[in-house]
Amino acid sequence: MFSITTTVAKSYRLLVSTATALIIGTAMLSTASAADIATSYNNSCAACHDSGALNAIKKGDSAKWQQLIKQKGMPALIKSVKSGMIQMPAGGLCTDCSDDDYRKLIEYMSK
């Protein structure tokens, strides 16, 4: 899993124009297990939030994440992921995440 994600992240940096193809490829990997947050993260959010591709806030940048959680509040952030943003596709590439999964994923990235 990790090496696939790393390859995807690297490819993003090299060839943003192929992002769509990679998004489809990654989305197909992300259908299985929303129960395991680390796996869900690796299969979906990591494509952007691991490397900071497309200016996504990086996993582990807790100062930025904490500020955002304080500013907008968790429900608004969950809503952002579900409906998508400027560069983030709706659902963040997770096809079977519940609101609770998104909350856990955001908390996971903020650590």
Q: How far is the CB of 68 from ligand HEC (least distance, A)?
A: 6
**What is the rounded CA–CA span in Å between residue 94 and residue 19?**
16
Query: Considering the rule CB under 6 A, would residue 93 count as an interface residue with ligand HEC?
Result: yes
Local structure of 15: helix, strand or coil? coil
Query: Considering the rule CB under 6 A, would residue 45 count as an interface residue with ligand HEC?
Result: yes
Query: Considering the rule CB under 6 A, would residue 9 count as an interface residue with ligand HEC?
Result: no
Residue type, 3: S
Query: Considering the rule CB under 6 A, would residue 94 count as an interface residue with ligand HEC?
Result: yes
**What is the rounded CA–CA span in Å between residue 68 and residue 56?**
12
The span of 1-9, 31-39, 48-56 binding ligand HEC (CB under 6 A) equals: 48-56
Query: Considering the rule CB under 6 A, would residue 54 count as an interface residue with ligand HEC?
Result: yes
The span of 3-11, 31-39, 83-91 binding ligand HEC (CB under 6 A) equals: 83-91
Task: Specify whether the CB–CB gap between 70 and 25 falls below 8 A.
Answer: no
**What is the rounded CA–CA span in Å between residue 1 and residue 62?**
24
**What is the rounded CA–CA span in Å between residue 26 and residue 9?**
11
Q: How far is the CB of 102 from ligand HEC (least distance, A)?
A: 5
